[in-house]
Structure 1
Amino acid sequence: MENHNLQIRDPFVLPLAEQGLEQGEGLYYLYGSTDSNIWGTGTGFDAYTSKDLEHWEGPFPVFRPEADFYAKRNFWAPEVYAYGGKYIMFATFRRTDNDLLGTAVLASPHPLGPFTPYSEGPVTPQDWSSLDGTLYIDKQSQPWMVFCHEWQQIRDGEVCAIRLTEDLRSAEGEPVTLFRASEAPWTTPFESKRYADQLNYVTDGPFLFRSSNDDTLYLLWASFINNTYALGIARSGSGEVTGPWIHQEEALYQNDGGHAMVFRTFGDKLMLAIHTPNQTPDERPVFLELEESGGVMRMKE
C-alpha cells in the first residue's frame, strides 16, 4: 500500500534498525488514529511497516479493547516507544465514566502488539479533558508526559507537562502549563459552531525533539490559522521542558496539515510526519525533510 491510499491521522513513525526480514535491515513502524470514523465508536489501532516510507505492509491490528475497557469512542493518537525492555504506547481515549478525554499508557513485548493497558486508566489529570500525550525524557533521565489541556474545556488550549514515574505507569506531582495557544504569534481564534459564544484557541499534537547540531530543544504543536489546520514550532529558552518556550513567528506548515512528529531515517535525514488534509476520511500521511538554519527550523527545499 502506498501513502496516498493509506487513511491515517496523527502519524507516528518508530524506526527500528534490526526489525527487517534480513539481519541489519531496518523497518519503519507507522502508528496513528486508524478508525475510519475517528469521531465515533473506537475499534482500536492498526499499524503498518515499510522499508522506504513509500510502500507499506499492513494493516496489522496492534490494539483491540477488551469488553470492559474504560472507553468506547474517540481512540486517538497512539505513539509507540522502545522503553525499559518493552514497547510503550501513549494513546488518547474518551472515558465512559465522565466523558472526558485522557491519555493512557499501554505496553507490549513487540512493536506490532498486542498492546494491553499498562496504566490504570489515563495518567493525565482525572478532571481535565486532555489529549495527545507524548513522551519526553530530560537530561536527568526524568520521564515526562507533554499533553494538551483541551480548548473545549478551557477555551484557550494549553500545552502542559507532568512528571511520570520511572516505569511510566502513573504521574508524579502536578502538571505544569508550558504555554497557551493564544501566546503564539501565528495562531488565530478557532470558529466553532458548538462553542460560538466563546473565543477559542486550539492546542493539538505536541512532540519534542532536539536538534543534532546545537542540542536545541524544539516542540511541535498544531492549531489553526483562519480555521485551517496548521503546524507551529517553538524552542525552549532554557533547554528544559519547562521552557520558557519561544515561538517561531510563522507556522512551519499551514496547508491544512498537522499533528506532527519528527524522526531520523536510516540514512540520517530529519523527517517530519504529518497528516493532511485534516478532513475525514481524506487524511493521509506525508513525510517531509526538515533542516535547521540560523536557529530556525524549516522545510528543506
Structure 2
Amino acid sequence: MKRKEIQIRDPFVLPLPEEGRYYLYGSTDANIWGPGTGFDAYISNDLEDWDGPYPVFRPGADFYSDTNFWAPEVYALHDKFYMFATFRRRDNGRLGTSVLSSPGPLGPFMPHSSGPVTPEAWSSLDGSLFMDPEGQPWMIFCHEWQQVGDGEVCAMRLSSDLSEPAGEPITLFRASEAPWTTPYESPRYKETVNYVTDGPFLFRGESGHVYMLWASFIDNWYALGVARSATGGVTGPWIHQPEALYRNDGGHGMVFRTFDSKLVLTLHAPNRTPDERPLFLRIEEAEGFIQHR
C-alpha cells in the first residue's frame, strides 16, 4: 500500500534498525468513534510503500473495553515490546490508558497492566512513555477536556516493569496556557469554555533539550504545538512555542529518527473520518525551537 491509501489516526512509528524496517501503528478501526475491533500495523523500509495491515491486537472476550480503541504507541524495552493504548471502560464509561506487551513487534499484544494505569475516576487518554535520565519510566497523558473543561497534560511515574503507577499524577500544564490555542466549540458542551489536549509525546533534541508535542485546536481546526522543558525534566516547567508547529487540520504527532539520522514528524491529517492519513515531515531543532522544513 502507498501511504495515501492508509486510513489511520494517531500514527506512531517504531524504527527497528536491526531489521531496516519501520513499523507503523495507530488507531486503525474504520470508525474509531464506535465499537473497537483492535489495532493493525504496517511495515515499510522507505516510509512510502507499506505492507499490511497486520493484526497486532484483538481483544479477548474478557477484555474490559469494547469501544474506542485509540492511539497505540509501541516501545522496544527489556527484550519485549510494550504498547500503550487508550480504551473506554465498560464499567464507568471513562477513557483510560493500559499497557500491553508482546515478544515481537507484530504481536499478538496481550494485557500487561491490570486494566488502565491512569486514575479510575479520571477520563484519561493518549498515554505515552518517556524514560528520564535516571532510567525512571514516566507516562505522559491527557486528563480529558470533556471532564475538566480546560484539558490537562499530566505525568505519572510507572513501576520499572511498566505494569502499574509508582506515584500520583502531576499536572504539567493546561491547554489554555499555550498562546496558540483557542477554545473548542463543541456541540455537546455548549455551556462551557473548552480547551482540548491530545496526544502528548516527549523527545530529546540534539542539544539535549526535552520537547513535547501535543495537539489542540485553533478556530476549531486541529493543530499541533511544541513545548520545551525549562529544566530538561519531565515536570518542567514547560515553555510553549508561541506558534503552532502544524495548523492545517492535523495533529496527534510523534517524532522518530530515520535510519539515515533525519528527524521526522508523523501526524494524521485531515482530522476527519474516514479521510485521515499519515503524514511524514522533516523537522529540525534551532536555538531551543522545533520547526518543520
Q: What amino acid does structure 2 have at the position aligned with 1:7?
A: Q
Alignment of 1:176-255 (within 5 A): 176-212=170-206, 214-255=207-248
TM score, norm. by length of structure 1: 0.97
Which residue of the partner structure matches residue 22 of structure 1? none
Partner-residue secondary structure (3-state), 1:106: strand
1:286 maps to what in 2? 279
Identity of aligned residues (%): 69
SS at match of 2:169: strand
Pairwise CA distance, 1:251 = 0.2
Task: Name 2:151's counterpart in structure 1.
Answer: 157
Deviation at 1:248, TM superposition (A): 0.2
The offset of 1:295, in angstroms, is: 2.0
Alpha-carbon distance in 2 for matches of 1:182, 1:290: 25
TM-score by length of 2: 1.00
CA distance in 2, matches of 1:206, 1:292: 18
**RMSD after superposition:** 0.5
Q: Which runs of 5+ in 2 are unaligned?
A: none
2:161 pairs with 138, 162, 167, which one? 167
Structure 1 residue 34 corresponds to structure 2 residue 34: no
Question: Deviations 1:165-191 (Å, cap 9, x if unpaired)?
Answer: 000000011100000000000000000
The whole-number CA distance in structure 2 between the counterparts of 1:295 and 1:236 is 10
Q: Quick one: which of 66, 70, 91 aligns to 1:97?
A: 91
User: CA separation in 2, counterparts of 1:278 and 1:230?
Assistant: 9
Letter in 2 for 1:298: Q
Secondary structure, aligned partner of 1:289: strand
Pair 1:45-2:39 in alignment: yes
**Structure 2 residue matching 1:4: 3-state secondary structure:** helix
What's the CA shift string for 1:140-178, capped at 9, x where partnerless? 110000000000000000000000000000001110000
Alignment partners' CA distance in 2, 1:162 and 1:201: 22
Name the SS for the 2:166 alignment partner.
strand
Runs of 4+ that moved beyond 6 A: none
Q: Secondary structure of the equivalent of 1:174?
A: coil
Alignment of 1:105-124 (within 5 A): 105-124=99-118
CA drift at 1:202:
0.2
Counterpart for residue 23 of structure 1: none
Report whether the alignment pairs 1:259 with 2:264.
no
Matching residue's letter, 1:244: P
1:5 partner letter: E
1:85 CA drift (Å): 1.1
